[in-house]
Amino acid sequence: IIAEALRDLGGDLTDIVRTRMYLVDPADAAEVGAVHGEALGRTSPAATMVVVAGLLDPRWRVEIEAEALLDGAAATDFVGPGPVIP
């Protein structure tokens, strides 16, 4: 979803400057961190990982937010995912 949103704005994963990862289970931290590193390791964005009591959809185990700086994008440009409810 994040890569697609960035592509829609003319960017890619290398434009990400900050991520926030919300985990339901702290046991997932190492795996989530490893995948984050594989996907974004070249750019090394600032990152925060937080354990939360739950997410919007109880089937979700991880939610990731990303902030990116894109050349030519207005501060109000936003591309979000499709419908959130499956």
Q: Residue 52: which domain range?
A: 2-68
User: Is residue 32 in some structural domain?
Assistant: yes
pLDDT, tens digit (0-9, with 9 covering 90-100), for 39-76: 998 888 999 999 999 999 999 999 999 999 988 665 54
* CATH code (residue 31): 3.30.1330.40
Residue 85 is predicted with a pLDDT of 44
Helices and strands in the chain, H and E counts: 2, 3
User: Is residue 82 in some structural domain?
Assistant: no
Residue 60 is predicted with a pLDDT of 96
Residue 86 is predicted with a pLDDT of 42
Look at residue 65 and give its three-state secondary structure: strand
In the predicted model, what is the mean pLDDT of residues 26-40? 96
Give the residue with greater pLDDT, 72 vs 80. 72
Per the structure, the count of domains in the chain is 1
List the structure tokens of 6: 């960035």
User: Is residue 28 in some structural domain?
Assistant: yes
pLDDT, tens digit (0-9, with 9 covering 90-100), for 2-26: 999 999 999 999 999 999 999 999 9
**Which helix (H) or strand (E) element contains residue 8?**
helix 2-8
